Structure 1
Amino acid sequence: MTPAEACDLVDFWDAAPWPLTRDQAQQLAVDGLGWTTEVEDGVSYLMNTVSGFTVPDVSTIGSRGDLSYLSLDLADTIREVTRESRRFLGDAFALVVREAEIRWGTPVMRDSEQTTSATWDTASGGRISFRLAPRSLSAMFETPQGVELDRKTGHR
């Protein structure tokens, strides 16, 4: 996925008419992004089948009916961590953060032992994060309801 595509995806979610339930967000993704849903054991799961990743799952986490978070991969998951895979994911992370800085300004950067993240608060009240880990590069959009829930529970 190109840096522009990654930023466009989270811009799409940031512009959504929040609050939305998980089902409403899934339908929005099907209609607006061409993604699909799969049903397993009576539960519908959102899939980013457009980007062609080996694992197309999109995590959707809600609270009290409203969706709080969406998390999706921006590159295929790395099976074996090598110097080349680290370089590839690191370069991809740097490029997506550079594109995001042009759009949203300077991020809050966080480093932990295994991950690096870049985070922006949005005008809608949401929060966008890109996360680099040894095996993955992902994006998370935290809905305005998710940000408020975090605030109330003392996170961030």
Structure 2
Amino acid sequence: MTWKSMPPAEVCDIMDFWIAAPWPMPESEAQQRAVERFGWTIEVENDTPYLMNTVSNFTTADVMTIDYKNVMRELSLDTSDTIRDVTPESTAFLGDSFTLMVREGEAKWGKPALRDFEKAKTARWNVDGGARVTFNFSPRGLSARFETPQGAEVERKLGDV
């Protein structure tokens, strides 16, 4: 069985693009920027536009975007295939890929805050402009999350430092 994951430099470049973006901005503008910069697509279902990373050809192409009162708060995407049948080999593959992503992130943004849960791990950075980047590992796949300065501020006020 073979699985795919995004090269660590690509994951960090995507996060750097969002870090450098002129926040705040509406969700529609963020989606359009992703289409122009990364070649992602927007699919409309029931009059709602959804951002899709069809370029990486992963199991799940959805890019989740969260906004509040038309101001982007968060964007998250899979950075690997979704593992349907978890095996020691698939977990080792994802673990190695996660480690390389974290190393690349550390080279760019410094030492992350690491959290190790029973079956999951996260690495999170507070980055320029008040935004946050988080890389997530679970036995089913890897993902990356970007919190805009506005979204990160809400989380900080709620006590999630």
Q: Counterparts of 2:29 and 2:129 in 1: how far apart (Å)?
A: 18
TM-score of the pair, normalised by structure 1 = 0.97
The aligned counterpart of 1:76 is: 81
C-alpha distance in 2 between matches for 1:114 and 1:65: 35
Distance between the aligned counterparts of 2:78 and 2:24, measured in 1? 23
Within the candidate set 23, 27, 42, 2:28 is matched to 23
User: What runs of 5+ residues in structure 1 fail to find an aligned partner?
Assistant: none
* 1:94 is aligned to 2:106: no
The aligned residue for residue 114 of structure 1 is 119
Partners of 1:155 and 1:102 in 2: how far apart?
24
Q: Which residue in 2 is equivalent to 1:150?
A: 155
Give the alignment of 1:55-66 within 5 angstroms: 55-66=60-71
Please, which runs of 5 or more residues in structure 2 have no aligned partner?
A: 1-5
How far apart in 2 are the matches of 1:102 and 1:154? 27
Match of 1:104 in 2: 109
Residue 18 of structure 2 corresponds to 13
Give the number of aligned pairs.
156
The TM-score normalised by the length of structure 2 is 0.94
**Paired AA for residue 8 in structure 1:** D
RMSD: 0.9
- TM-superposed CA distance for 1:155, in Å, is 2.7
Which of 136, 142, 147 aligns to 2:141? It is: 136
Q: Secondary structure at the match of 1:124?
A: helix
Give CA-to-partner distance per residue, 1:34-91, whole Å, 9 cap, x none: 1100000110000011111121100001112111110001111101110000000000
